[in-house]
Amino acid sequence: MLETEKQRTLFKYKSGLDFALEQDHNDTLKLYRNQFHIPKDADGNELIYMTGNSLGLQPKQTKAYINQELDDWAKLGVEGHTEAKNPWLPYHEFLTKSMANVVGAKPIEVIVMNTLTANLHLMMVSFYQPTKSRYKILIENDAFPSDKYAVESQLRHHGFDDKNGLILWKPRKGEELLRYDDLEAILEEQGDEIALIMIGGVNYYTGQFFDLKYITNLGHKYGCKVGFDCAHGAGNVDLQLHDSGADFAVWCTYKYLNSGPGSLGGCFVHERHANNKNLNRFTGWWSHNKQTRFKMRDEFDQLPGAEGWQLSNPPILSMAAIKASLDLFNEVGIEKLIAKSKKLTGYFEYLLNQLGHDKIRIITPKSEAARGCQLSIQVMNADKKLHDKLTESGVISDWREPDVIRCAPTPFYNSFEDVYHLVEKIKFIINE
């Protein structure tokens, strides 16, 4: 499914607005921009929105999807659980297949539930089962803070020291990206002490997209469980979670999946664990067999698959927003989005390189297979003024300490023209 490097080199970029307009004209997905609300400035001009990696934009159809549930609730009250147009009892099932397609999984492996960090903890209840000799957790050096806090608290919860128990996969001195050789060296040395490897599938800071299958195979070879936080991967890159063989993965739906602030998370549990009733887990009535759930019996009957990790009956309004977005993903297909994304980000990289300015440097991998749509631009001397001026000039991007501007042109609603103007603004500001 991935475009090969050969295809990539065949695609020639050019500078100049004409080229951007021509690309937009030929873009088969161009009309989808109109399906999203694009934020505007005080004068009503559209801003250049580059933060779909942080909070995706609102699809115009989301309101109707939520209103449908509000109306059915008003009309039907509790009967909506079975009588609503989209009955609430099985509502999460309406999301499963589309979500599984987005992350490259089988439906039985995927569930939309809770929020991201909560799901990460639930997954660790099952897949972080430390012993006296094998208790360490390996994460990437620049892991998202919430992930780091979560694994540290799991170590403490099991009575281990969170400094000694946490192993960081670090970049080499003077580098930003992580090397697989270094991961292999860590495992060779401490593999039999590591209970869990938990990596951000796409690193939030550098935008490096890791080889999930390679990491999983390596971890399994040493007897470790392997999980990924795909918050920056879902809806952005070709995750192929099933084929990766990972034990579990978690992600959120408010970044590239455009489902609204604080919306529910997604969770993947590999099929080989689907019927394992001996795995440790926390349960609730929504983990119980659907057929007998409302008999309210004493004996617990575990649901198979990822659904069996649910606890509560879920928030339908939030799920309606997820359905609105996933219906768009279904309509287009993640493959087409990724194909456009590669061109768009390649174009962005090309234009930045054309600037040939030593004030900025892209730290994201050059290889298409090792990144998604985000480019992380390191600013020399950590000069935050560049970002401030970009913001003043109508760009929404984000500054990450110590010295990086992250820009993520997303294929659903960003255009080549957006990218062209963005780089023109950067050029103007750094040459001032």
Ligand X SMILES: *Cc1c(COP(=O)(O)O)cnc(C)c1O
Site residues, ligand X (CB under 6 A): 115-117, 144, 146-147, 200, 204, 229, 231-232, 252
**224, 196 in Cβ contact below 8 A?**
yes
Shortest distance, position 151 Cβ to ligand X, whole Å: 11
Q: How far apart are CA 61 and CA 66, in angstroms?
A: 9
Shortest distance, position 252 Cβ to ligand X, whole Å: 4
**Is the CB of 106 or the CB of 157 nearer to ligand X?**
157
**415, 30 in Cβ contact below 8 A?**
yes
**Is the CB of 3 or the CB of 152 nearer to ligand X?**
152
Shortest distance, position 53 Cβ to ligand X, whole Å: 8
Tokens of 356: 């040939």
**Is the CB of 81 or the CB of 400 nearer to ligand X?**
400
Shortest distance, position 238 Cβ to ligand X, whole Å: 18
Shortest distance, position 370 Cβ to ligand X, whole Å: 17
**Is the CB of 225 or the CB of 232 nearer to ligand X?**
232
- Please state at what angle helix 334-355 crosses helix 416-431, rounded to 10 degrees: 20
Q: How far apart are CA 364 and CA 382, in angstroms?
A: 17
Shortest distance, position 269 Cβ to ligand X, whole Å: 18
B/e letters for 205-228, b = 16+ CB within 10 Å, e = fewer, are bbbbbbebeebbebbeebebbbbb
End-to-end CA distance of the chain: 43
Shortest distance, position 256 Cβ to ligand X, whole Å: 10
CA dist list (Å): 221 to 51, 165, 188, 225, 283: 38, 20, 10, 10, 30
Nearest CA-CA partner of 53 in 367, 320, 412? 412
Tokens of 292: 């007998």
Determine whether 331 is exposed, middle or buried from the number of CB atoms within 10 Å of its CB (0-12, 13-18, 19+). Answer: exposed
Tokens of 418: 């957006």
